[in-house]
Amino acid sequence: YIETWTHDKYVANSGLIVQPEFRGSNLGKRLKHASFALSRKKYPDARIFSITTSHAVMKMNTELGFSPVPFSELTTDKEFWDGCQSCRNYDILMRNDRKMCLCTGLMFDPEEKKKAFQKKMMRNKLVAVLTSVITLRRQRLSNGKLTVKPAMKKL
């Protein structure tokens, strides 16, 4: 399911259960990707999170760019955490003041991904500029239009 929390600042993608007869058919992955895409489209600035004990769901979330986070980074909405009451591990969650249980919290933060993308783009631009400068210098050296000072030849 897809549900929003904290005035649309958070979107939960949870509750993915594939019946045993459909497992191994990539149905879970297709559903996870579809719910993620819909969440990003409807709530582009929201942090998308999931809590799970399933290794398969953790793997799918990681492939989508989610990172493990402590529960303190998830929504603080009481209604969300009340939804965990049906879980057999709810007592563990409550004994730990909603700070940890057997689930792993995973988060996709669009702002963090945007910053990482911008950093990568800047690095790529820097590499392109440096490559151009080096290429130009080599061309000028080979054409005799640029002379190298004796101290620079040692480098």
Residues 135 and 59 in one domain: no
- For residue 96, give the CATH number of its domain: 3.40.630.30
Residue pair 106/36 in contact by the 8 Å Cβ criterion:
no
Q: What is the pLDDT of residues 131-140, one digit of tens each?
A: 888 888 888 7
Residue 151 has pLDDT above 70, yes or no: no
Answer yes or no: do 73 and 136 share one domain: no
Structure confidence at residue 73 (pLDDT): 93
Whole-prediction pTM: 0.70
Same domain (yes/no): 103, 120: no
Q: 85: domain range?
A: 2-108
Question: What is the number of structural domains in the chain?
Answer: 2
Residues with Cβ within 8 Å of 14's Cβ and at least 6 positions away in sequence, in order, are 1, 3, 50, 51, 52
Residue 147 has pLDDT above 70, yes or no: no
Buried-exposed string 49-82: b where 16+ CB fall within 10 A, e elsewhere: bbbbebeebbebbeebbbeebebeebbebeebbe
Please check whether residues 61 and 77 belong to one and the same domain.
Answer: yes
Burial class (CB in 10 A: 0-12, 13-18, 19+), 90: middle
β partners of residue 11: 4, 48
The amino acid sitting at 61 is: N
Burial (CB < 10 A; 0-12, 13-18, 19+), residue 36, is: buried
Summarised one tens digit per residue, pLDDT across range 24-62 is 999 999 999 999 999 999 999 999 999 999 998 999 999
Residues 100 and 119 in one domain: no
